[in-house]
Amino acid sequence: MRAAPSCPRWALLALALPALALPALALPAGRLALLPHGRERGDAELEPGDDARSAALELSTALRFYGAAVRSLYVATNGIIAVNEPSSEEKYLGQFPVSFGAIAPFMADLDTTDGRGNVYYREDSSSDVLKLASDYIKRGFPETTFDPSSVVVVTWKLVAPYRAQEEGHRNTFQAVLASSDSSSYAIFLYPEDSLQFYSTYSKNDDGKIPAMVGFSQASTNYYFWEKPGSYNVIANDEDSIRNLHKSSNAGKQGVWVFEIGSSSDSIVPAKISDVLESLESNEQDQEMTSKPFMSDYGSTEIRQQYVTSSTDSTEEDQHHVTYSVPQLAVQQFPPQQPQVIDVEEFDETGIVFRYHTDVQQTCANNRHQCSVHAICKDYPNGFCCSCIAGYKGNGRQCVAEGSPQRVNGKVKGRIFVGNNPIPVTFENTDLHSYVVMNQGRAYTAISTIPETLGYSLLPLASIGGIIGWMFAVEQQGYKNGFSVTGGEFTRQTEVTFLGNNEKLVIKQKFSGIDEHGHLTITTEMEGRIPEIPSGASVHIEPYTELYHTSRSVITSSSTREYTVTEPERDGVASTYTGAYQWRQTISFDECVHDDSHHAASATQQLSVDSVFVLYNRDEQILRYAMSNSIGPISDGSADINRNPCYTGTHNCDTNAICRPGTGNRFFCECSVGFRGDGNVCYDIDECSEQPALCGSNAVCNNQPGTYRCECVEGYQFAADGQTCVAVEYVVNHCQTGTHSCDIPQRAQCVYTGGSAYICTCLPGFSGDGRACEDIDECQQGRCHPDAFCYNTPGSFSCQCKAGYRGDGFRCVLGEMEKTKCQREREVALGSGGTFFQREIRVGHFIPQCDEHGNYLPTQCHSSSGYCWCVDRDGNEIDGTKSGPGVQPPCLSTAAPPVVIGPSVRPDTVPLPPGTHLLFAQSGKIEHVPLEGNNMKKNGAKALLHIPVSNLLY
């Protein structure tokens, strides 16, 4: 497992020096102003949304970014400008770097729906904007002659965080990208008090995630792998982001300037040349004092080391980059403790910053990073792990000394053989290796390699030789690869065949020890190799190779020869000799706090002999075997370290350690987990000797030299990795109906993740969700005093009394508008008014209405005696008509009319179809769509905004 960095990354890249008293310079006073923006400046505006992004913004002048030319950009809601089309936000928020490459003035989960701010962007070449951008750049780089020809201005104005808890929290910031034909600069502008939140909620329910400010180079996609790009983190915690508008690297608060691309392929921050301006202007226009400011300046030296790979030189070429980075003004902000910047090289992609602060990393909170077979020791600047006696490794990974080791992995490749224009492609091919540790002998087999390729790979024994280096026999004072790296490293190799100059690139990644106690490896190969005829054999003489170690990097190079014996033809087997140059770089993490970790010589010699290579065409298996030892550089004379322990010629058991004595003397000692005299060792069955070793609810499985605990069915390991606890199966009780909520007509079950849920009473009911009772709204005086109130399950309705008109919540004097029943009755009775009364026609049906003007549920014809049931609109219900004198049993469906609540406000946003959960907070009513019993949080929107002063509590 890769050890986590011992300290978090921070933004203020400063190493505190004694305060310097500097005179105040005549800088322009006043609040920081953004560059002109908005529709009136011809800006395009990003569509409102939670994860919106623009179409490609084609640039008239290419942007130089990490040394490459970028000709189009993408603007996104989430505070980034992408150099390639960005992926969906769930794939990059909370992570840095990002694979598509981005400039991030404030990368966070932002939301501009429902009028929550705007995002404006444009490319501009007007003289006034070019002049403003140039002035900002020359503040931070006063010696530059940069003259921009084009500027990209992106403004995030009053944008809100996703799932905002307080409507008032909004952020405003601006990114300005200025370019000429040869270089580009980025300007980040943060006006005073413009950042009102510093983190946003995760959509994955991971709590709050701090915003990220920085730069990320796009990844490079190769045929077999993706190579991450360089990245620079400016701020990634709330304290650093909170200070962005108060501090600067360009002499004016809230202004941050960076050179992002020129002949260099790295990001260069501005150098402070002036004292920070005070933006606290005097509101009464009082006379400004000339008292000088006090400011701390930090100068941090970034050193990247390039180690030569030549075997006849071990000197290091060093490239120095000095960044001067601001500390905050002492008058306004407390001084910061010293901070240190470490630089690590990540697969040759450039500088990656890792910022260490004064937060002390100790064994107390990092013991889990050490192997269970290691001790943890604190140092003034951190901690280190060291394997205990009887074990070998780097402390993070430890294996029993002298015990055989197994390595498993996968191989894939795309290789051209000879002049064949079609490559041989393979993937997911198994690699297995077995190492006799006390002999330093490694056996490696790669399966299912086609015959067209298998024989031609025979000279490349070092594909498996890296495993031999890891477990080479160590001479006194020297360390093999596993002692240095713990089996966690990447290896990049370039093979150049002499003659036709064919090249092959090999990339291998070792990921440490897996849960089975085996090392894991992935191997990828791409390129062209010479063809070796089918049936040929290859012989490789013993060879030596020098390994040069510098901080976290090991390099080596050599020239190797091999002899090919072709199949016999007419009784004659021809032979020829080939050669290739081998260059490799091994990158790993080391503990920098313990000097004893560097006790091994910076240059060591790996001696390889008894090299055996074979390809089995029937089984399509490629096999390599070799013996390895590591020690001092030999001049070819008689080796003084020919002890059998160093040469592997002892007679110790394969599960034993060879301990060298004086001269050629030695003795054998069984490895941990074995018993015997060293010449013969047998496994200790810990499970039989200690039946309670694994505890309850677990079984113990004995393995060679060790044992393994496994939880029984229905149990799993707890967080401590040792105790077995019952598995909690996730059940959505709302979906399965196994919840304890009241019936659906009164309550709702809301799924909250895992096996949890909550019960809530529906509107119009009260209770705890498990038992809900109808609320009698009529007892609360919800209707107008001159109206009737009718309580119904979960609701109520209001109707003005006779002589009043209105909606029941507001009633005024005046005759109410006649209902349909009343109008039809008047027509049937012949009521044509005072002067135009008509005669009632005999046998004509006259509707019967109740006191409120609604149809009575039972209507009868006065002449024929027939009766029938009607609905609330007076329409006859089929099948209900009865004979004369018989009244059917009709239900009251017409009265009273259902009128719930007052009239709908005109500014209310209508709800889309479906089921919604309504809730009120912070002066607004919002709704969340429901899908079954699950809340669709991404669809939450405001339904109605209400000024807080209008709310009644």
Least-confidence region, from 467-471, 581-585, 628-632, 901-905: 901-905
Asked if the model's pLDDT at residue 464 lies above 70, the reply is: yes
What CA–CA distance (Å, rounded) separates 808 from 899? 8
**DSSP annotation of 454:** H
- pLDDT: which is higher, 11 or 753: 753
pTM for the full predicted model: 0.43
In sequence order, what are the residues at sequence separation of 6 or more whose Cβ sits closer than 8 angstroms to the Cβ of residue 1?
396, 488, 512
**Cβ-contact 260, 64 below 8 angstroms:** yes
**Cβ-contact 435, 471 below 8 angstroms:** yes
Share of the chain above pLDDT 70, in %: 78
Q: φ and ψ at 236, to 5 degrees?
A: -150, 25
Asked if the model's pLDDT at residue 321 lies above 50, the reply is: no
Which tens digit of pLDDT belongs to each residue from 741-768?
A: 999 989 999 998 888 899 999 988 999 9
Which structure tokens are listed for 704?
């060679």
Q: Where do we find the tokens 């013993």? A: 542
* Over residues 798-806, mean pLDDT: 86
Other C-beta atoms lying within 10 Å of the C-beta of residue 95? 12
Residue among 288, 516, 557 nearest 399 (CA): 516
Given 3.40.50, 2.40.50, 2.10.25, 2.40.30, which CATH number is that of 733-775?
Answer: 2.10.25
In sequence order, what are the residues at sequence separation of 6 or more whose Cβ sits closer than 8 angstroms to the Cβ of residue 135?
none
Asked if the model's pLDDT at residue 563 lies above 90, the reply is: yes
- CATH class assigned to 397-629: mainly beta
What CA–CA distance (Å, rounded) separates 608 from 473? 11
Which tens digit of pLDDT belongs to each residue from 410-459?
A: 999 999 999 999 999 999 999 999 999 888 899 999 999 999 999 999 99
- CATH class assigned to 687-726: mainly beta
Kindly indicate the confidence band of residue 361, based on its pLDDT and cuts at 50, 70 and 90.
Answer: confident
End-to-end CA distance of the chain: 56
Asked if the model's pLDDT at residue 616 lies above 80, the reply is: yes
Share of the chain above pLDDT 90, in %: 37
Three-class secondary structure of residue 772 per DSSP: strand
Kindly indicate the confidence band of residue 945, based on its pLDDT and cuts at 50, 70 and 90.
Answer: low
Which tens digit of pLDDT belongs to each residue from 97-115?
A: 898 999 999 999 999 988 8
Which structure tokens are listed for 764?
């119009």
Other C-beta atoms lying within 10 Å of the C-beta of residue 338? 13
Asked if the model's pLDDT at residue 78 lies above 60, the reply is: yes
What CA–CA distance (Å, rounded) separates 214 from 873? 68
**Cβ-contact 71, 150 below 8 angstroms:** no
Q: φ and ψ at 324, to 5 degrees?
A: -105, 120
Other C-beta atoms lying within 10 Å of the C-beta of residue 631? 20
What was the pLDDT predicted at 274?
44
In sequence order, what are the residues at sequence separation of 6 or more whose Cβ sits closer than 8 angstroms to the Cβ of residue 10?
235, 236, 237, 240, 339, 355, 357
Which tens digit of pLDDT belongs to each residue from 208-226?
A: 888 999 999 988 876 556 6
What CA–CA distance (Å, rounded) separates 51 from 56? 16
- Can you say whether residue 819 is alpha, beta or left, with left for phi > 0 and alpha for psi between -120 and 50 degrees? beta
What CA–CA distance (Å, rounded) separates 93 from 110? 10
What mean pLDDT is reported for the chain?
79
Residue among 486, 440, 445, 485 nearest 464 (CA): 445
Q: Where do we find the tokens 């390129």? A: 527
Residue among 679, 678, 684, 710 nearest 697 (CA): 710
Kindly indicate the confidence band of residue 816, based on its pLDDT and cuts at 50, 70 and 90.
Answer: low
What CA–CA distance (Å, rounded) separates 345 from 352? 6
**Cβ-contact 215, 261 below 8 angstroms:** no
Q: Where do we find the tokens 């119904």? A: 792
